[in-house]
Homo-oligomer: A and B are copies of this chain.
Amino acid sequence: MTALENAWLDAIKWDANGLVPAIAQDYATGKILMFAWMNREALQLTSETQQAVYWSRSRNKIWHKGEESGHFQKIHEIRVDCDEDVILLSVEQIGGIACHTGRNSCFFRKLENGGWVTDQAVIKDPKDIY
């Protein structure tokens, strides 16, 4: 790539660890599926492959979402926020499961009467996914 072609990547304000937060939203339902992190390479790969690629902070490596589970995220749109330090992905969630617990979304608990209450069913047992 030429310098000009990378201008959109150069615009991103990476944090001290070279990362930015990334939010994945279902393009059809509008549901927030998950939250993860990206480094420059992950964002570039996300754009190039049109599938979500993150940076795994626990494994300290590039994480092509779905590489183990088959639950890839097909990119519909890539957005950046006003401060150029947060990425928002609009995705088609293959298999309908974004969460490692086997649920559609990682945000399956809401605060109710002072406690976290689960209101989303497990679609597939994680034992059968990984």
Contacts and interface: CB of A to CB of B under 8 A. Distances in A.
Given A23-B23, A47-B111, A111-B47, A116 B32 contact: no
A45 interface: no
Contacts of A86: 35, 106-107
A34 B82 CA distance: 9
A121 interface: no
A61 B34 CA distance: 27
A109 interface: yes
Nearest to A115: B8
A65 interface: no
A110 B78 contact: yes
B111 A82 contact: no
Interface string A70-87: 000000011111110010
Nearest to A77: B110
Contact of A114 (B5, B30, B103, B115): B5
Residue in A7, A34, A86, A101 with the greatest tally of chain B CB atoms within 10 Å: A86
A100 interface: yes
Contacts of A5: 114
Interface in A1-37: 5, 7-8, 11, 21, 23, 25, 29-32, 34-35
